[in-house]
Amino acid sequence: MAEKVRAGILGVGSAVPERVLTNFDLEKMVDTSDEWISTRTGIKERRIAAPHERTSHYAAKAASKALERAGVDPSELDLIIVATLTPDMFCPPTACIVQDRINAPQAAAFDLSAACSGFVYALDVAVRGVESGAYRRVLVIGADLLSHVTDYTDRSTCVLFGDGAGAAVVGPVEKGGVLSTYLGADGSGGPKLTVPAYRAGSAGPDGCAPGQGCYIRMEGNEVFKFAVRVMPEAALEALRRAGVAPEDVDLFIPHQANIRIIDAAAKRLGISSDKVFVNVHKYGNTSAASIPLALDEALEQGRISEGDTVVLVGFGGGLTWAASVLVWSGERVPRG
């Protein structure tokens, strides 16, 4: 009998805008303070795209880096999935725009909408596609320009969000790989976090004025409680499915929304802070980009070595949640 194919991440890349928006900049825009934002969220600054830029721009940049590190040519890709809640437009899908930009003519392409859980949702699709033998090379991208759906007159949300993209190439691996994924949703909680309408580049001349319903509205406290409960639950279920004990995890990479949520989840899991990767202070909440951006930085900083067990876990609008346990099998092109 043929051995089961195991899928793994072959290479990771990320891209963020150059412009930095600090807490001190926000103090000049709304009634807030660096002290409030730092202590309530852990965020110090975030990156903001130019109004004319679109999600595909950063998605394609992140993708090219991931492909290079994986040693995979774009022509080898069978499928491209872009997880985003801020597509360039409703049609064509952002994944098709990326396919054209990176020159991957053999790849099918579609967008996936699961808010901040989108990257791990897309990873699940990629892993199952590779394990089934249907695909050999899948490009999974999490990319969002949340500045395009942020109301910069609403202090309760505008301090939280930022822009970025992260990508991973998924394919068969001989050692390690993705041991488990676990996805969930609770649609009854959907009204707690909504973006009723959307137009990319809302800060630009074609944009949407505050009050027109094109912005994130969120019951922050409710989402906070949901996140603190669901992050450890999702991580534990993914660990159970992988047959891995929490104490055997080398690095925990949570969705970067709020340091208080991350700390509470790690505490419930009994994972010490040195095993938790945090970069929320630099980027704020970048939605679907958050986890792959953190994974890329963790690799950049040498926080992950071959054979390490890594847990990815996210939550977000929907409401949704998703977690994955993987054993790192390395990239063909070494960093540095």
Least distance to ligand ACO from the beta carbon of 121, Å?
12
Distance CA 4, CA 31 (A): 57
Q: Using the minimum distance from each CB to ligand ACO, give the nearer residue, 41 or 147.
A: 41
How is the beta sheet containing 177-185 ordered, strand by strand? 177-185, 320-327, 309-316, 251-254
Distance CA 158, CA 161 (A): 6
Distance CA 331, CA 70 (A): 6
Q: Would you tell me the crossing angle of helices 259-269 and 34-41 to the nearest 10 degrees?
A: 20
Token pair 């679109």 is found at 54
What amino acid is encoded at 205 in this protein? P
Radius of gyration for the alpha carbons in the chain, expressed in angstroms and rounded? 19
Applying CB under 6 A, among 59, 214, 227, 280 the residue interacting with ligand ACO is: 227
Applying CB under 6 A, among 162, 316, 322, 324 the residue interacting with ligand ACO is: 316
Applying CB under 6 A, among 150, 181, 285, 324 the residue interacting with ligand ACO is: 285
Q: Using the minimum distance from each CB to ligand ACO, give the nearer residue, 37 or 304.
A: 37
Query: Is 286 a residue that touches ligand ACO (CB under 6 A)?
Result: no
Applying CB under 6 A, among 15, 102, 159, 294 the residue interacting with ligand ACO is: 159
Which residues ranging from 93 to 152 are in contact with ligand ACO (CB under 6 A)?
A: 115-116
Query: Is 41 a residue that touches ligand ACO (CB under 6 A)?
Result: yes
From the list 31-39, 71-79, 132-140, 243-251, the region that binds ligand ACO by CB under 6 A is 31-39
Query: Is 224 a residue that touches ligand ACO (CB under 6 A)?
Result: yes
Distance CA 176, CA 278 (A): 24
Applying CB under 6 A, among 220, 236, 268, 308 the residue interacting with ligand ACO is: 220
Active-site option among 116, 158, 208, 214: 116
Q: Using the minimum distance from each CB to ligand ACO, give the nearer residue, 224 or 308.
A: 224
From the list 16-24, 121-129, 153-161, 202-210, the region that binds ligand ACO by CB under 6 A is 153-161
Applying CB under 6 A, among 153, 221, 272, 305 the residue interacting with ligand ACO is: 221
For residue 145, give the 3-state DSSP assignment.
strand
Our answer to whether residue 255 is catalytic in this structure is yes
Helix intervals (H) in 214-333:
220-242, 259-269, 280-283, 290-300
Least distance to ligand ACO from the beta carbon of 267, Å?
16
From the list 17-25, 69-77, 97-105, 220-228, the region that binds ligand ACO by CB under 6 A is 220-228
Distance CA 145, CA 161 (A): 9
Query: Is 198 a residue that touches ligand ACO (CB under 6 A)?
Result: no
For residue 209, give the 3-state DSSP assignment.
coil
Active-site option among 208, 214, 255, 279: 255
From the list 37-45, 173-181, 239-247, 299-307, the region that binds ligand ACO by CB under 6 A is 37-45
What amino acid is encoded at 36 in this protein? W
Q: What is the DSSP letter of 35?
A: H
In the chain, at which residue ranges do the beta strands (DSSP E only) sit? 6-15, 20-22, 45-47, 79-83, 108-112, 138-145, 163-173, 177-185, 193-194, 217-218, 251-254, 309-316, 320-327
Least distance to ligand ACO from the beta carbon of 306, Å?
32
Contact 78, 140 (CB under 8 A): no
Token pair 């949640």 is found at 321
Active site residues: 116, 255, 285
Residues lying near ligand ACO in the complex (CB under 6 A): 32, 36-37, 40-41, 115-116, 155-156, 159, 193, 218, 220-221, 223-224, 227, 257-258, 261, 285, 287, 316-317
